[in-house]
Protein backbone atom coordinates (compact mmCIF):
# COMPACT_ATOMS: atom_id res chain seq x y z
CA UNK A 1 0.00 0.00 0.00
CA UNK A 2 1.22 3.47 -0.84
CA UNK A 3 -0.29 5.25 2.14
CA UNK A 4 1.54 5.75 5.40
CA UNK A 5 -1.03 4.99 8.09
CA UNK A 6 0.61 7.17 10.76
CA UNK A 7 0.86 10.15 8.40
CA UNK A 8 -2.79 9.64 7.44
CA UNK A 9 -3.84 9.73 11.11
CA UNK A 10 -1.82 12.89 11.67
CA UNK A 11 -3.47 14.48 8.66
CA UNK A 12 -7.08 13.45 9.34
CA UNK A 13 -7.34 12.94 13.11
CA UNK A 14 -4.94 15.55 14.46
CA UNK A 15 -6.54 18.19 12.27
CA UNK A 16 -10.01 17.41 13.65
CA UNK A 17 -8.92 17.13 17.29
CA UNK A 18 -6.82 20.29 17.29
CA UNK A 19 -9.20 22.44 15.27
CA UNK A 20 -9.79 25.70 17.14
CA UNK A 21 -7.09 24.93 19.74
CA UNK A 22 -4.73 27.77 20.68
CA UNK A 23 -2.90 26.66 23.85
CA UNK A 24 -0.03 24.14 23.83
CA UNK A 25 -0.75 23.41 20.17
CA UNK A 26 2.67 22.02 19.27
CA UNK A 27 2.85 19.91 22.44
CA UNK A 28 -0.60 18.43 21.79
CA UNK A 29 0.33 17.68 18.19
CA UNK A 30 3.52 15.92 19.33
CA UNK A 31 1.57 13.93 21.93
CA UNK A 32 -0.84 12.73 19.24
CA UNK A 33 2.05 11.76 16.97
CA UNK A 34 3.52 9.64 19.76
CA UNK A 35 0.12 8.21 20.72
CA UNK A 36 -0.93 6.94 17.29
CA UNK A 37 1.73 4.18 16.92
CA UNK A 38 1.26 3.16 20.57
CA UNK A 39 -2.53 2.90 20.13
CA UNK A 40 -2.14 0.87 16.93
CA UNK A 41 0.31 -1.46 18.67
CA UNK A 42 -2.23 -2.07 21.44
CA UNK A 43 -5.11 -2.62 18.99
CA UNK A 44 -2.98 -5.02 16.94
CA UNK A 45 -2.44 -7.25 19.97
CA UNK A 46 -5.93 -6.84 21.49
CA UNK A 47 -8.68 -7.16 18.84
CA UNK A 48 -11.33 -7.45 21.57
CA UNK A 49 -10.45 -3.91 22.66
CA UNK A 50 -11.38 -2.63 19.18
CA UNK A 51 -14.95 -3.90 19.52
CA UNK A 52 -15.18 -2.46 23.04
CA UNK A 53 -14.06 0.99 21.89
CA UNK A 54 -16.37 0.90 18.85
CA UNK A 55 -19.38 0.25 21.08
CA UNK A 56 -18.90 3.54 22.93
CA UNK A 57 -19.86 7.00 21.76
CA UNK A 58 -16.88 8.61 23.48
CA UNK A 59 -14.11 6.03 24.04
CA UNK A 60 -11.38 7.24 26.37
CA UNK A 61 -7.88 6.45 27.52
CA UNK A 62 -9.30 4.85 30.66
CA UNK A 63 -10.98 2.22 28.47
CA UNK A 64 -7.57 1.21 27.15
CA UNK A 65 -5.90 1.10 30.57
CA UNK A 66 -8.91 -0.44 32.35
CA UNK A 67 -6.80 -2.97 34.25
CA UNK A 68 -3.77 -0.70 34.66
CA UNK A 69 -4.82 2.78 35.92
CA UNK A 70 -1.40 3.40 37.48
CA UNK A 71 0.23 2.63 34.14
CA UNK A 72 -2.06 5.16 32.47
CA UNK A 73 -0.73 7.90 34.77
CA UNK A 74 2.84 6.81 34.02
CA UNK A 75 2.09 6.98 30.30
CA UNK A 76 0.54 10.46 30.60
CA UNK A 77 3.48 11.73 32.63
CA UNK A 78 5.84 10.56 29.87
CA UNK A 79 3.84 11.85 26.89
CA UNK A 80 2.65 15.17 28.39
CA UNK A 81 6.00 16.87 28.85
CA UNK A 82 5.43 20.33 30.37
CA UNK A 83 1.69 20.36 29.60
CA UNK A 84 -0.74 19.35 32.41
CA UNK A 85 -1.52 15.65 32.12
CA UNK A 86 -5.29 16.25 32.26
CA UNK A 87 -4.99 18.54 29.22
CA UNK A 88 -3.13 15.91 27.19
CA UNK A 89 -5.51 13.18 28.39
CA UNK A 90 -8.47 15.19 27.11
CA UNK A 91 -6.76 15.61 23.73
CA UNK A 92 -5.97 11.89 23.44
CA UNK A 93 -9.51 10.95 24.54
CA UNK A 94 -10.95 12.99 21.68
CA UNK A 95 -8.64 11.32 19.17
CA UNK A 96 -9.69 7.70 19.78
CA UNK A 97 -13.09 7.73 18.04
CA UNK A 98 -11.87 9.49 14.85
CA UNK A 99 -8.82 7.18 14.78
CA UNK A 100 -11.15 4.18 14.75
CA UNK A 101 -13.13 5.87 11.98
CA UNK A 102 -10.02 6.25 9.79
CA UNK A 103 -9.00 2.64 10.46
CA UNK A 104 -12.49 1.38 9.54
CA UNK A 105 -12.42 3.38 6.30
CA UNK A 106 -8.95 2.16 5.32
CA UNK A 107 -9.77 -1.43 6.25
CA UNK A 108 -13.04 -1.30 4.34
CA UNK A 109 -14.82 -2.79 7.33
CA UNK A 110 -15.51 -2.15 11.01
CA UNK A 111 -14.65 -5.77 11.87
CA UNK A 112 -11.75 -6.00 14.38
CA UNK A 113 -10.11 -8.70 12.24
CA UNK A 114 -10.05 -6.35 9.24
CA UNK A 115 -8.58 -3.53 11.32
CA UNK A 116 -5.86 -5.74 12.84
CA UNK A 117 -4.99 -7.00 9.36
CA UNK A 118 -4.65 -3.38 8.20
CA UNK A 119 -2.32 -2.60 11.12
CA UNK A 120 -0.24 -5.73 10.45
CA UNK A 121 0.11 -4.71 6.80
CA UNK A 122 1.54 -1.35 7.88
CA UNK A 123 3.42 -2.71 10.89
CA UNK A 124 7.00 -1.96 9.71
CA UNK A 125 6.18 1.74 9.29
CA UNK A 126 4.22 1.86 12.56
CA UNK A 127 6.88 0.14 14.68
CA UNK A 128 9.58 2.36 13.22
CA UNK A 129 8.01 5.49 14.76
CA UNK A 130 7.21 4.05 18.18
CA UNK A 131 8.74 6.29 20.87
CA UNK A 132 11.91 4.75 22.31
CA UNK A 133 10.23 4.43 25.72
CA UNK A 134 7.14 2.67 24.37
CA UNK A 135 8.67 -0.80 24.64
CA UNK A 136 8.47 -0.82 28.44
CA UNK A 137 4.88 0.48 28.36
CA UNK A 138 3.72 -2.18 25.91
CA UNK A 139 5.56 -4.90 27.80
CA UNK A 140 3.84 -3.83 31.01
CA UNK A 141 0.52 -4.20 29.17
CA UNK A 142 1.49 -7.73 28.14
CA UNK A 143 2.28 -6.77 24.54
CA UNK A 144 5.47 -8.00 22.90
CA UNK A 145 6.88 -5.86 20.08
CA UNK A 146 10.21 -5.46 18.38
CA UNK A 147 10.49 -2.14 20.18
CA UNK A 148 9.79 -3.57 23.61
CA UNK A 149 13.43 -3.85 24.51
CA UNK A 150 15.49 -0.77 25.18
CA UNK A 151 14.63 2.16 27.42
CA UNK A 152 12.07 1.93 30.17
CA UNK A 153 9.17 4.31 30.55
CA UNK A 154 11.48 6.76 32.29
CA UNK A 155 14.34 6.31 29.85
CA UNK A 156 16.51 4.20 32.12
CA UNK A 157 19.69 3.28 30.19
CA UNK A 158 19.93 -0.15 28.59
CA UNK A 159 21.03 -3.00 30.80
CA UNK A 160 24.27 -4.17 29.19
CA UNK A 161 24.65 -7.63 30.82
CA UNK A 162 22.62 -9.09 27.92
CA UNK A 163 25.80 -9.08 25.84
CA UNK A 164 27.67 -10.98 28.55
CA UNK A 165 24.94 -13.56 28.66
CA UNK A 166 25.20 -14.08 24.89
CA UNK A 167 28.91 -14.66 25.15
CA UNK A 168 28.49 -17.23 27.90
CA UNK A 169 25.78 -19.41 26.39
CA UNK A 170 28.03 -22.43 26.73
CA UNK A 171 27.97 -22.09 30.47
CA UNK A 172 24.75 -23.91 31.34
CA UNK A 173 25.22 -23.15 35.04
CA UNK A 174 25.66 -19.36 34.78
CA UNK A 175 23.01 -18.60 32.15
CA UNK A 176 19.88 -19.27 34.27
CA UNK A 177 21.42 -17.44 37.23
CA UNK A 178 22.34 -14.32 35.26
CA UNK A 179 18.94 -14.29 33.51
CA UNK A 180 17.21 -14.46 36.89
CA UNK A 181 19.27 -11.54 38.24
CA UNK A 182 18.49 -9.41 35.15
CA UNK A 183 14.78 -10.17 35.37
CA UNK A 184 14.73 -9.26 39.05
CA UNK A 185 16.51 -5.97 38.32
CA UNK A 186 14.04 -5.06 35.56
CA UNK A 187 11.05 -5.81 37.78
CA UNK A 188 12.57 -3.72 40.57
CA UNK A 189 13.11 -0.78 38.21
CA UNK A 190 9.54 -0.97 36.93
CA UNK A 191 8.10 -1.24 40.44
CA UNK A 192 10.16 1.72 41.59
CA UNK A 193 9.05 3.79 38.57
CA UNK A 194 5.37 3.10 39.19
CA UNK A 195 5.49 3.58 42.95
CA UNK A 196 7.49 6.81 42.91
CA UNK A 197 5.09 8.45 40.46
CA UNK A 198 1.87 7.84 42.34
CA UNK A 199 2.17 10.79 44.70
CA UNK A 200 2.76 13.61 42.19
CA UNK A 201 -0.04 12.38 39.92
CA UNK A 202 -2.88 11.70 42.30
CA UNK A 203 -2.68 14.32 45.03
CA UNK A 204 -2.40 17.68 43.26
CA UNK A 205 -5.39 17.14 40.96
CA UNK A 206 -7.95 16.77 43.73
CA UNK A 207 -6.51 19.38 46.08
CA UNK A 208 -5.72 22.25 43.73
CA UNK A 209 -9.07 23.76 42.76
CA UNK A 210 -11.90 21.54 43.99
CA UNK A 211 -13.88 24.59 45.09
CA UNK A 212 -17.38 23.33 44.24
CA UNK A 213 -19.19 20.25 45.55
CA UNK A 214 -20.11 17.48 43.12
CA UNK A 215 -23.69 17.88 41.93
CA UNK A 216 -26.47 15.70 40.49
CA UNK A 217 -29.69 17.17 39.10
CA UNK A 218 -32.48 15.20 37.44
CA UNK A 219 -36.21 15.36 36.82
CA UNK A 220 -38.99 13.01 35.76
CA UNK A 221 -42.00 13.49 33.48
CA UNK A 222 -45.68 12.82 33.98
CA UNK A 223 -45.10 9.05 33.86
CA UNK A 224 -42.14 9.07 36.24
CA UNK A 225 -39.57 8.49 33.49
CA UNK A 226 -36.31 10.42 33.31
CA UNK A 227 -36.59 13.65 31.27
CA UNK A 228 -33.52 15.69 32.23
CA UNK A 229 -30.28 14.88 34.03
CA UNK A 230 -26.95 16.64 34.62
CA UNK A 231 -23.81 15.51 36.49
CA UNK A 232 -20.93 17.65 37.78
CA UNK A 233 -17.85 15.93 39.25
CA UNK A 234 -14.09 15.89 39.26
CA UNK A 235 -13.97 12.09 39.02
CA UNK A 236 -14.51 10.85 35.47
CA UNK A 237 -14.30 7.17 36.44
CA UNK A 238 -17.09 7.46 39.00
CA UNK A 239 -19.20 9.45 36.55
CA UNK A 240 -18.98 6.53 34.12
CA UNK A 241 -20.21 4.16 36.81
CA UNK A 242 -23.06 6.47 37.83
CA UNK A 243 -24.07 7.02 34.20
CA UNK A 244 -24.50 3.27 33.71
CA UNK A 245 -26.59 3.04 36.89
CA UNK A 246 -28.87 5.87 35.76
CA UNK A 247 -29.35 4.40 32.29
CA UNK A 248 -30.19 1.03 33.78
CA UNK A 249 -32.50 2.28 36.56
CA UNK A 250 -34.53 4.57 34.28
CA UNK A 251 -34.13 2.43 31.13
CA UNK A 252 -32.86 5.60 29.47
CA UNK A 253 -30.64 5.57 26.38
CA UNK A 254 -28.77 8.83 26.84
CA UNK A 255 -28.38 9.19 30.60
CA UNK A 256 -27.01 12.50 31.87
CA UNK A 257 -25.16 15.44 30.51
CA UNK A 258 -21.74 15.59 32.15
CA UNK A 259 -19.29 18.29 33.20
CA UNK A 260 -16.04 16.89 34.55
CA UNK A 261 -13.22 19.16 35.70
CA UNK A 262 -11.00 19.81 38.69
CA UNK A 263 -13.28 22.56 40.00
CA UNK A 264 -15.66 19.92 41.35
CA UNK A 265 -15.07 17.51 44.22
CA UNK A 266 -14.38 13.92 43.24
CA UNK A 267 -16.97 12.44 45.62
CA UNK A 268 -20.59 13.00 46.61
CA UNK A 269 -21.50 12.81 50.28
CA UNK A 270 -23.14 9.39 50.86
CA UNK A 271 -22.58 8.61 47.19
CA UNK A 272 -23.00 4.85 47.71
CA UNK A 273 -26.69 5.53 48.36
CA UNK A 274 -27.32 7.33 45.06
CA UNK A 275 -28.56 4.24 43.12
CA UNK A 276 -30.97 3.34 45.93
CA UNK A 277 -32.32 6.90 46.04
CA UNK A 278 -32.80 7.00 42.27
CA UNK A 279 -34.82 3.79 42.40
CA UNK A 280 -37.20 5.53 44.81
CA UNK A 281 -37.51 8.58 42.54
CA UNK A 282 -38.20 6.47 39.44
CA UNK A 283 -41.92 6.31 38.77
CA UNK A 284 -42.76 9.45 40.77
CA UNK A 285 -44.40 11.88 38.30
CA UNK A 286 -42.98 15.37 37.74
CA UNK A 287 -40.27 15.03 40.38
CA UNK A 288 -36.99 16.92 40.60
CA UNK A 289 -33.92 15.94 42.64
CA UNK A 290 -30.86 18.05 43.41
CA UNK A 291 -27.93 16.37 45.23
CA UNK A 292 -25.29 18.92 46.16
CA UNK A 293 -22.97 19.07 49.16
CA UNK A 294 -24.72 17.76 52.25
CA UNK A 295 -28.21 18.69 51.07
CA UNK A 296 -30.64 16.71 48.93
CA UNK A 297 -33.69 18.63 47.67
CA UNK A 298 -36.84 16.92 46.44
CA UNK A 299 -39.53 18.70 44.48
CA UNK A 300 -42.76 17.22 43.07
CA UNK A 301 -46.00 18.49 41.57
CA UNK A 302 -47.88 16.71 44.37
CA UNK A 303 -46.59 17.81 47.83
CA UNK A 304 -47.58 14.45 49.33
CA UNK A 305 -45.22 12.65 46.92
CA UNK A 306 -42.33 14.87 48.06
CA UNK A 307 -42.98 14.16 51.74
CA UNK A 308 -43.14 10.41 51.11
CA UNK A 309 -39.84 10.51 49.23
CA UNK A 310 -38.14 12.48 52.01
CA UNK A 311 -39.27 9.91 54.59
CA UNK A 312 -37.92 7.02 52.51
CA UNK A 313 -34.65 8.69 51.49
CA UNK A 314 -33.47 10.22 54.76
CA UNK A 315 -32.52 6.86 56.40
CA UNK A 316 -30.34 6.06 53.35
CA UNK A 317 -28.25 9.27 53.55
CA UNK A 318 -27.28 9.68 57.19
CA UNK A 319 -24.76 12.46 56.52
CA UNK A 320 -27.15 14.64 54.52
CA UNK A 321 -30.22 16.76 55.06
CA UNK A 322 -33.18 15.84 52.85
CA UNK A 323 -35.76 18.58 52.26
CA UNK A 324 -38.99 18.83 50.29
CA UNK A 325 -39.42 22.02 48.30
CA UNK A 326 -42.59 23.57 46.96
CA UNK A 327 -43.26 22.91 43.29
CA UNK A 328 -42.11 25.66 40.94
CA UNK A 329 -44.82 27.81 39.44
CA UNK A 330 -42.64 30.11 37.36
CA UNK A 331 -43.22 29.29 33.68
CA UNK A 332 -40.27 28.20 31.60
CA UNK A 333 -38.72 30.77 29.27
CA UNK A 334 -39.60 29.06 25.98
CA UNK A 335 -37.49 31.44 23.87
CA UNK A 336 -34.40 30.75 25.97
CA UNK A 337 -35.07 27.00 25.93
CA UNK A 338 -35.44 26.98 22.14
CA UNK A 339 -32.31 29.07 21.63
CA UNK A 340 -30.23 26.93 24.00
CA UNK A 341 -31.46 23.64 22.54
CA UNK A 342 -30.86 24.71 18.96
CA UNK A 343 -27.39 26.00 19.80
CA UNK A 344 -26.48 22.69 21.44
CA UNK A 345 -27.77 20.78 18.39
CA UNK A 346 -25.62 22.85 16.02
CA UNK A 347 -22.52 22.26 18.15
CA UNK A 348 -23.20 18.52 18.43
CA UNK A 349 -23.67 18.12 14.66
CA UNK A 350 -20.52 20.14 13.99
CA UNK A 351 -18.60 17.82 16.33
CA UNK A 352 -19.48 14.64 14.39
CA UNK A 353 -16.47 13.23 12.53
CA UNK A 354 -17.42 13.29 8.81
CA UNK A 355 -15.30 10.17 8.28
CA UNK A 356 -17.13 8.22 10.99
CA UNK A 357 -20.82 9.23 10.88
CA UNK A 358 -23.05 7.10 13.10
CA UNK A 359 -26.84 7.12 13.06
CA UNK A 360 -27.08 7.38 16.85
CA UNK A 361 -24.80 10.45 16.91
CA UNK A 362 -26.93 12.23 14.29
CA UNK A 363 -30.21 11.35 16.07
CA UNK A 364 -28.84 12.42 19.47
CA UNK A 365 -27.70 15.79 18.10
CA UNK A 366 -31.03 16.45 16.34
CA UNK A 367 -32.94 15.64 19.53
CA UNK A 368 -31.20 18.53 21.30
CA UNK A 369 -33.10 21.10 19.20
CA UNK A 370 -36.66 22.29 19.82
CA UNK A 371 -38.85 22.55 16.71
CA UNK A 372 -41.60 24.88 17.97
CA UNK A 373 -44.30 24.83 15.30
CA UNK A 374 -46.91 27.59 15.30
CA UNK A 375 -50.39 26.59 16.44
CA UNK A 376 -52.08 24.22 13.94
CA UNK A 377 -49.11 24.72 11.55
CA UNK A 378 -46.66 22.23 10.01
CA UNK A 379 -44.27 24.90 8.70
CA UNK A 380 -40.73 24.42 10.00
CA UNK A 381 -39.39 27.51 11.85
CA UNK A 382 -36.44 29.22 10.16
CA UNK A 383 -34.35 28.71 13.34
CA UNK A 384 -34.38 24.95 12.76
CA UNK A 385 -33.61 24.95 9.05
CA UNK A 386 -29.89 25.56 9.50
CA UNK A 387 -29.75 22.59 11.91
CA UNK A 388 -31.57 20.35 9.44
CA UNK A 389 -29.21 21.58 6.71
CA UNK A 390 -26.26 20.40 8.83
CA UNK A 391 -27.90 17.02 9.37
CA UNK A 392 -28.68 16.67 5.66
CA UNK A 393 -25.03 17.29 4.81
CA UNK A 394 -23.98 14.45 7.10
CA UNK A 395 -26.71 12.04 5.98
CA UNK A 396 -25.83 12.53 2.32
CA UNK A 397 -22.32 11.31 3.13
CA UNK A 398 -23.59 8.31 5.10
CA UNK A 399 -26.29 6.28 3.35
CA UNK A 400 -26.33 3.86 6.31
CA UNK A 401 -27.83 6.55 8.57
CA UNK A 402 -31.58 5.92 8.58
CA UNK A 403 -33.88 7.78 10.96
CA UNK A 404 -37.50 7.80 12.04
CA UNK A 405 -38.94 11.30 12.56
CA UNK A 406 -41.62 11.18 15.27
CA UNK A 407 -44.21 13.92 15.75
CA UNK A 408 -46.06 14.67 19.02
CA UNK A 409 -48.62 17.23 20.18
CA UNK A 410 -50.07 18.32 23.52
CA UNK A 411 -53.48 17.09 24.70
CA UNK A 412 -55.38 20.28 23.84
CA UNK A 413 -58.12 19.64 21.26
CA UNK A 414 -59.35 16.54 19.46
CA UNK A 415 -57.11 13.45 19.68
CA UNK A 416 -57.67 12.43 16.03
CA UNK A 417 -56.94 15.95 14.81
CA UNK A 418 -53.80 16.10 16.92
CA UNK A 419 -52.57 12.79 15.50
CA UNK A 420 -53.07 13.98 11.93
CA UNK A 421 -51.26 17.25 12.74
CA UNK A 422 -48.31 15.40 14.31
CA UNK A 423 -48.01 13.24 11.18
CA UNK A 424 -47.96 16.36 8.98
CA UNK A 425 -45.25 17.94 11.13
CA UNK A 426 -43.06 14.83 11.07
CA UNK A 427 -43.56 14.56 7.31
CA UNK A 428 -42.65 18.20 6.81
CA UNK A 429 -39.29 17.54 8.48
CA UNK A 430 -38.74 14.50 6.25
CA UNK A 431 -39.71 16.49 3.15
CA UNK A 432 -37.31 19.28 4.07
CA UNK A 433 -34.38 16.87 4.50
CA UNK A 434 -35.20 15.17 1.20
CA UNK A 435 -35.31 18.59 -0.48
CA UNK A 436 -31.77 19.15 0.80
CA UNK A 437 -30.62 15.98 -0.97
CA UNK A 438 -31.15 13.19 1.57
CA UNK A 439 -32.29 9.88 0.06
CA UNK A 440 -35.99 9.34 0.95
CA UNK A 441 -35.11 5.74 1.82
CA UNK A 442 -33.15 7.07 4.79
CA UNK A 443 -36.21 8.61 6.46
CA UNK A 444 -39.60 7.63 7.85
CA UNK A 445 -42.28 9.92 9.37
CA UNK A 446 -44.64 8.78 12.14
CA UNK A 447 -47.24 10.85 13.99
CA UNK A 448 -48.25 9.97 17.56
CA UNK A 449 -50.47 12.94 18.37
CA UNK A 450 -51.00 13.41 22.11
CA UNK A 451 -49.77 9.89 22.92
CA UNK A 452 -46.57 9.40 24.97
CA UNK A 453 -46.46 12.80 26.78
CA UNK A 454 -43.22 13.72 28.53
CA UNK A 455 -44.76 16.35 30.81
CA UNK A 456 -48.03 17.30 32.50
CA UNK A 457 -50.55 18.50 29.89
CA UNK A 458 -52.45 20.49 32.53
CA UNK A 459 -49.79 23.25 32.56
CA UNK A 460 -48.55 25.54 29.76
CA UNK A 461 -44.97 24.41 30.40
CA UNK A 462 -45.98 20.77 30.09
CA UNK A 463 -47.88 21.42 26.89
CA UNK A 464 -44.82 23.17 25.44
CA UNK A 465 -42.62 20.17 26.22
CA UNK A 466 -45.13 17.72 24.74
CA UNK A 467 -45.28 19.58 21.39
CA UNK A 468 -42.11 18.09 19.99
CA UNK A 469 -40.28 16.26 17.20
CA UNK A 470 -38.02 13.32 18.08
CA UNK A 471 -35.50 11.39 15.97
CA UNK A 472 -34.82 7.67 16.44
CA UNK A 473 -32.54 5.19 14.68
CA UNK A 474 -34.48 3.08 12.18
CA UNK A 475 -33.96 -0.69 11.93
CA UNK A 476 -33.72 -1.16 8.17
CA UNK A 477 -34.24 -4.92 8.45
CA UNK A 478 -37.68 -4.73 10.07
CA UNK A 479 -38.74 -1.13 9.47
CA UNK A 480 -39.23 -0.46 13.17
CA UNK A 481 -37.46 1.89 15.50
CA UNK A 482 -34.65 0.45 17.59
CA UNK A 483 -33.85 1.47 21.13
CA UNK A 484 -30.20 2.05 21.99
CA UNK A 485 -28.75 1.41 25.44
CA UNK A 486 -25.28 0.94 26.90
CA UNK A 487 -25.19 -2.66 25.60
CA UNK A 488 -25.92 -1.64 22.01
CA UNK A 489 -29.02 -1.55 19.85
CA UNK A 490 -31.99 -3.78 20.58
CA UNK A 491 -35.38 -4.17 18.92
CA UNK A 492 -38.35 -2.62 20.65
| pLDDT tens profile 39-66 | 999 999 999 999 888 887 778 888 898 8
Question: Quick one: 343 and 478 in the same domain?
Answer: yes
What pLDDT does residue 326 have? 59
| pLDDT tens profile 434-450 | 999 999 999 999 999 99
pTM of the model: 0.36
Whether 326 and 303 have beta carbons less than 8 Å apart is answered as yes
Give the CATH number of the domain where residue 431 resides: 3.30.1330.60
Say how many domains are in the chain.
4
Question: Quick one: 288 and 427 in the same domain?
Answer: no
Tell me the H-state helices in 314-414.
334-350, 359-366, 382-397
3-class secondary-structure state, position 375? coil
What pLDDT does residue 185 have? 59
Residue 261 to residues 27, 264, 266: CA-CA distances in angstroms? Answer: 21, 6, 9
Question: Quick one: 260 and 185 in the same domain?
Answer: no
User: Domain for residue 180, yes or no?
Assistant: yes
Lowest average pLDDT, out of 79-88, 110-119, 135-144, 233-242, goes to 135-144
Find the mean pLDDT for residues 348-373: 92
| pLDDT tens profile 383-420 | 999 999 999 999 999 999 999 999 999 887 788 888 99
Question: Quick one: 280 and 238 in the same domain?
Answer: yes
DSSP 8-state secondary structure symbol assigned to residue 69: H
Please, what sign has the CA dihedral across residues 259, 260, 266, 267?
positive
Residue 83 to residues 25, 31, 196: CA-CA distances in angstroms? Answer: 10, 10, 20
Last residue of a domain, one of 151, 181, 208: 208
Find the mean pLDDT for residues 230-258: 85
The percent of residues in the chain predicted with pLDDT above 70, rounded, is 80
| pLDDT tens profile 161-219 | 333 334 434 444 455 555 556 655 555 555 555 544 444 444 343 344 567 888 898 88
With vertex at residue 300, the alpha carbon angle to CA 274 and CA 484, rounded to the nearest 5 degrees, is 55
What pLDDT does residue 488 have? 42
Please determine, for residue 433, whether its predicted confidence score (pLDDT) is greater than 60: yes
Give, for 461, the enclosing helix (H) or strand (E).
Answer: helix 460-466
Give the CATH number of the domain where residue 290 resides: 3.40.1520.20
Rounded distance between C-alpha atoms, residue 242 and residue 213, angstroms: 16
SS3 for 149-175, per residue? Answer: CCCCCCCCCCCCHHHHHHHCCCCCCHH
Find the mean pLDDT for residues 354-371: 92
Question: Quick one: 181 and 230 in the same domain?
Answer: no
Question: Quick one: 82 and 171 in the same domain?
Answer: no
User: Domain for residue 84, yes or no?
Assistant: yes
Question: How many Cβ atoms sit within 10 Å of the Cβ of residue 300?
Answer: 24
Question: Quick one: 400 and 469 in the same domain?
Answer: yes
Question: Quick one: 219 and 204 in the same domain?
Answer: no
What mean pLDDT value characterizes the chain?
81
Question: Quick one: 299 and 353 in the same domain?
Answer: no
Cα torsion for 257, 262, 264, 266, to the nearest 10°? 90
User: Domain for residue 176, yes or no?
Assistant: yes
Helix 47-54 and helix 85-107, axial crossing angle in degrees, nearest 10? 100
Please determine, for residue 158, whether its predicted confidence score (pLDDT) is greater than 50: no
Residue 246 to residues 107, 265, 357: CA-CA distances in angstroms? Answer: 36, 20, 26
Q: Which domain, by its residues, includes 196?
A: 161-208
User: Domain for residue 63, yes or no?
Assistant: yes
Integer-rounded Cα Rg, in Å, for the chain is: 27
Amino acid sequence: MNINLIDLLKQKVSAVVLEGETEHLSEKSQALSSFFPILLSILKSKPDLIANLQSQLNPRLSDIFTNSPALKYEFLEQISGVVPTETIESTLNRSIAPTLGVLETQAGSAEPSAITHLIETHWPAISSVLPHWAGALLSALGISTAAASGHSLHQTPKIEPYRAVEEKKKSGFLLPLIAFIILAALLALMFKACSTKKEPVSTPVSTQAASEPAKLQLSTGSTGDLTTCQLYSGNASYIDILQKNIKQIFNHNTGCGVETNANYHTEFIDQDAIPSVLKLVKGVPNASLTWIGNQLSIQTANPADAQQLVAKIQPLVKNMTVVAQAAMTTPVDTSAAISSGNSNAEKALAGINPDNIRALDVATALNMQIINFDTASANIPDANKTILDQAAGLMKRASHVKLTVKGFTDAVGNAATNKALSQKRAQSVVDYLVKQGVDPAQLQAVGYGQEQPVADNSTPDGQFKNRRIEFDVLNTETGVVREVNENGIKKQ
